[in-house]
A and B are shown apart, each in its own frame.
Chain A
Amino acid sequence: MWLSPALFLMLISILTSVCLVVSSPSLFISWVGLELNTLAFMPFLLSKKSKLASEASIKYFLTQTLASILILVGGLGLSIKLGAAPFHSWVLSVAEASGWLSIFTLLTIQKVNPLLILWMFCPLSMEFFYGVVLSSLVVGGLTGLTQTSIRSMLTFSSINHVGWLMTAISFGLGVGVYYFLIYLATLLCSIIIFHMFNVSHVNQLSLLNFKPSNQLLMFFALLSLGGLPPFLGFLPKWMVLQLTISYSMLLVAGVMVSMSLLVLFFYLRLMFSSFIMGGLSFTTFIKAPLPLPIFFILLFAMSGGGLALAYFL
């Protein structure tokens, strides 16, 4: 799908928009980059060619445009663009309707631009910023508890991660970029797995006949996303947490930790059904080993690369 020339052009446009935002000295050119981002992402949403997809793409377009207007007026639009609570309601609708690649892009690359503008121009006042962060964390953690579709779970975990990301970026660019990159890597691992086995719902995981070793790798990818030591996903969270505590933002730290627990809980619950019910018939396992690059990415999710990355950052 992503090999078609048109979509490739769109990908280049998105990357161009990122470069625009990063390298612009003024807010207006960054705003132009944001608009370019919005427009270039639309075809990704429409790549699935269903009525649901067109509905999702209209919602996305309208939301993002409103957000861009609101950026010009005040800083509110950035939170809308990020999908931070209490402005998070559009993310779920869009995410439910897209394919796995689209959702990946939605949840990661679309966040780069708003985060960079947030860092560069800091338009949000302190109380507002804390309010958005806290409510993102809480909403992401709590609402995800009663979800049954895997896309919704990933959405709410990304809302939670947006809270962490905004905190990280407020401490400096290095921390924010580090968190973002590791979030990208771990999310990529999880989404690749879901894409490969075409699961969209919690029920479907138990129907797969995996070898237990493959199940374990899937489990590790999700745990890494949830931020459990010794996996890769723990490192940026540790960094942000330590910075938060050393700056005495203890309420934020407490809420961050407890809501991460809830996010981790619904990942664990996701894998329980696969462990207990899946792999029941031992003769019809999916015997093929995971393809090599995926395997490599999964191993990267475990911890080694993160340490190297931290060294260089």
Chain B
Amino acid sequence: MTVDKYLYQKISFFLINFMLVIGFTGVFLSLSGVSIFIEWFLGGSSMNFSLIFLFDSISCFFLSVVLCISANVVWYSKSYMATDPNANRFILLVVGFITSMAILIISPNILSILLGWDGLGLISYGLVIYYPSSKSSSAGMITVLSNRVGDVCILLSIGWFMSVGDFNFSIWALLSNTDFSIWVSFLVMLAAMTKSAQIPFSAWLPAAMAAPTPVSALVHSSTLVTAGVYLLIRFSFILGESCSAFLMFISIMTMFMSGVVAIFEYDFKKIIALSTLSQLGMMMFAISLGLFEVAFFHLLTHALFKALLFLCAGILIHGVGNTQDIRSFGSLSLNFPLVTVCMNLANLSLCGVPFLAGFYSKDLIVELACQYSWGIFILLMMFVCLSLTVLYSVRLTYLSFVSAYGGGSLVSVCETDYSLLAPVVILSFTSLMSGPVLSWLSFSCPTLIFLPTFLKWGALFFVVSSVVIMVSLQRLVYFYMWGTVKKFSGLMWFLPWLTGQWLTLNTLKNADQFLKIYDQGWLEFYSSKGISMGANSMSLFSLKFQHNSLKIHFLVFLVWLFMCLIYIL
């Protein structure tokens, strides 16, 4: 029970108002080309410390999208978490999360970005371990430790910024002869890769689906994972040639891997998580091509329809009795007509069907990528990943809405709860309209695409053919009998095991040896124990002259006297 009956509605209303203010500010700023810096300045003569907030069109648009999604998610979670006894903790964590994200978005210097970044990592840990089960606990541990690696990279780059002089990277974007080395680019890129779950660090995103569904909608689809992309967009001046090449490879492989794994996956939320991962790879791909504004545009539209997808998934999961296995879904379009419509909108938008939101952003990236000359491998992989996206989306739609019902018989499968449906409807409106609206706002004139015919038709061809392939494959039973491929994909190409158990096992074995042999062994002998034994032995040596006999005292005196006389003479 919450403290106030209308708490969720109040928070949601506040967020919507805030979003409208920021949204109109963003439109004004983008049309007039102005950026607003708000600065609080502390100190005077020797110490100068300032807290700066940057409001330019990028940050205002991103902030308004985040606030829109969070307003809808909070309204949705009013009824989703109504039966949960810890709902107070939930809403506190969500509000803290939104605050951290806001701090991250509006900060132009790396110290306050670190504040938001660390806050995001920590609060997402608190949200992932929300349910008290061992699965949630291990998922939370993977999440927070992967995010910690990114935190360390940002801390190291803070050290670098201290040597350059100013923490505000918006200043350095304007200068052309700054002193940044290749290491800062790599560190920032590595931090973005951990947050956005690219290939070495991609184990945490599917595992983090142990969180409640509103959390997945807010955190793991639109805000936390896009923080890495946003960081790279802000640091666009720093990414050089070699970093871009590395990032391109990593993002292509992430897209490919997540697409392949999603085809064989049976957990509903994990499929959506892997599709998020694939789209993140697409955004990183765009960044590595140098298309920062297009990547940002894709970030915004993707946030909106992915949040919509998660919310619909939540309604469906609630409907079939809280199971997430898609084998127990099926024929749900008969009972959830509105959710079916919205989810189809989201899925088609994800696939890049013409004139929905995803088409504007994703297709733009594809066509602009075809104009660069990076080689046949990159192009081919990009188109393959496009078709993989369509494949798993169609599979998802087919298995939830079209195929025969596979669940239990005593469930209440209906959609009458308006506070669950209204956010879904609102988000579907935005995902319909955000594509064209944001493209008119972000790009002052349409981009010129100049391509040969087969490349221009390439995207559409791959999409349509993948739809046909998957629909026909669903009718064939023995598609599911590829045992080895399923195992390989199901364990996510063994990446979580490699970066998790294998790594820690070997490291702990070595660490144990170090502890027993060096730290508690020879190092003790040479440093502390050795010194104390040496001091004791010297003390015992000097006690040998200390006998309680006067003769010996006088003998010692006379010996020394003799030696001094010899020395003097």
Name A residues whose Cβ lies closer than 8 Å to a Cβ of B.
58-59, 62-63, 66, 70, 74, 76, 80, 86-87, 89-90, 92-93, 128, 139, 142-146, 262
Contact present for A89 and B545 (CB under 8 Å): yes
* Chain B: minimal CB distance from A163 (Å): 14
Minimum Cβ distance to chain A for residue B491 (Å)? 55
Please tell me which one of the listed residues B536, B538, B550, B564 contacts residue A62 in the complex, with CB atoms under 8 A apart.
B550
Write the chain A residue with the least CB distance to B557: A87
Is the Cβ of B535 less than 8 Å from the Cβ of A145? yes
Once the chains are docked, how many angstroms separate the CA of A264 from the CA of B255?
66
Q: Measuring CB to CB, which residues of chain B are less than 8 angstroms from any residue of chain A?
A: 535-536, 538-540, 542-543, 545-548, 550, 552-554, 556-557, 560-561, 564
On whether A90 and B553 interact (CB within 8 A), knowing A76-B564, A142-B542, the answer reads yes
Q: Name which residue of chain A comes closest to B549, CB basis.
A: A93
Q: Hey, which chain A residues are within 8 Å of B548, CB to CB?
A: 93
A90 CB contacts on chain B under 8 angstroms = 550, 553
Beta-carbon contact of B552 and A89 below 8 Å: yes
B535, B540, B553: the one contacting A89 at CB < 8 Å is B553
Contact in complex: A143, B546 (CB < 8 Å): yes
Given A70-B561, A76-B561, do A63 and B543 touch, yes or no (CB 8 Å)? no
- In the assembled complex, the Cα of A128 lies from the Cα of B566 at a distance in Å of 13
Give the dominant DSSP class at B's interface: helix
Which A-B residue pairs are the 9 nearest by beta carbons? A145-B539, A146-B539, A143-B542, A142-B539, A89-B553, A142-B538, A90-B553, A143-B539, A93-B548
On chain B, the residues within 8 Å of A89 by CB distance are 545-547, 552-553, 556
Q: Which residues of B contact A139 (CB under 8 A)?
A: 542
Complex Cα–Cα for A93 and B543 (A): 12
CB-based nearest A residue for B561 = A76
20 of the cross-chain contacts (CB-CB < 8 Å) are A58-B550, A59-B550, A62-B554, A66-B557, A70-B557, A74-B561, A76-B561, A76-B564, A86-B560, A87-B556, A87-B557, A89-B553, A89-B556, A90-B553, A93-B548, A142-B535, A143-B543, A143-B546, A146-B539, A262-B535
Which residues on the A side are within 8 Å of B552 (C-beta)?
89
Do B556 and A86 touch across chains, with their CB atoms under 8 A apart?
yes
User: Can you add 14 more A-B contacts, CB < 8 Å, to A142-B538, A143-B546?
Assistant: A59-B553, A66-B557, A70-B557, A74-B561, A76-B557, A89-B547, A90-B550, A92-B546, A93-B553, A144-B539, A145-B535, A146-B536, A146-B540, A146-B543
A89–B550 Cα distance when bound, in Å, is 9
A127 CB → nearest B CB, Å: 8
Q: Which of B536, B546, B554, B564 contacts A66 (CB 8 A)?
A: B554
Min CB distance, B535 to chain A, in Å?
A: 6
Contacts A139-B542, A142-B539, A146-B536 given: A128-B553 contact, CB under 8 Å?
no
Among B542, B545, B561, max chain A CB count under 10 A is at: B542
Min CB gap B12→A, angstroms: 58
Q: Give the residues in chain B near A58, CB-CB below 8 Å.
A: 550
Q: Which residues of B contact A262 (CB under 8 A)?
A: 535
CB distance from A106 to the nearest CB of B (A): 15
B546 touches A145 (CB 8 A): no
- Bound-state Cα–Cα, A180 to B557, Å: 26
- Nearest B residue to A70 by beta-carbon distance? B561
Q: Which residues from B are CB-within-8-Å of A66?
A: 554, 557
For B545, the chain A residues whose CB sits under 8 A away are 86, 89
Q: How far is the CA of A170 from the CA of B547 in the complex (A)?
A: 32
Shortest CB distance A7–B (Å): 25
- Give chain A residues whose Cβ lies under 8 Å from the Cβ of B538: 142
List A contacts of B542 (CB < 8 A).
139, 142-143
Please name the residue on chain B nearest to A89 by beta carbon.
Answer: B553
Complex-state Cα separation, A70 to B558, whole angstroms: 10
Contacts of B553 on A, CB cut-off 8 Å? 59, 63, 89-90, 93
Q: How far is the CA of A142 from the CA of B532 in the complex (A)?
A: 10
Nearest Cβ distance between residue B51 and chain A, in whole angstroms?
38
